[in-house]
Amino acid sequence: MSGMHYDVVISGAGMVGATLACLLAKSAKRIAVLETLPPPVFKASDDFELRVSALSRF
């Protein structure tokens, strides 16, 4: 990552980190999100969570 410059670095792409990244993406800032875990695998049979649905309205 040598030579990469960001205005904001967010540690964690969970519910809060991902929401913050989405909100900051509307600005002119350069944003990086760091996450150590692989993205979760979702199946059509999985239940959805209302809290994630509510945050997607921002």
The answer to whether residue 51 sits within a structural domain is no
The domain of 33 spans: 1-37
The DSSP code sequence of 5-52 is --SEEEE--SHHHHHHHHHHTTSS--EEEE--SPPPP--TTSPP-HHH
Going by pLDDT thresholds of 50, 70 and 90, the confidence category of residue 46 is confident
Q: How many distinct structural domains can be found in the chain?
A: 1
Whether residue 4 is contained in a domain is answered as yes
* In a domain? residue 10: yes
For residue 25, is it within any domain?
yes
pLDDT greater than 60 at residue 1: no
Task: Confirm whether pTM is higher than 0.75.
Answer: no
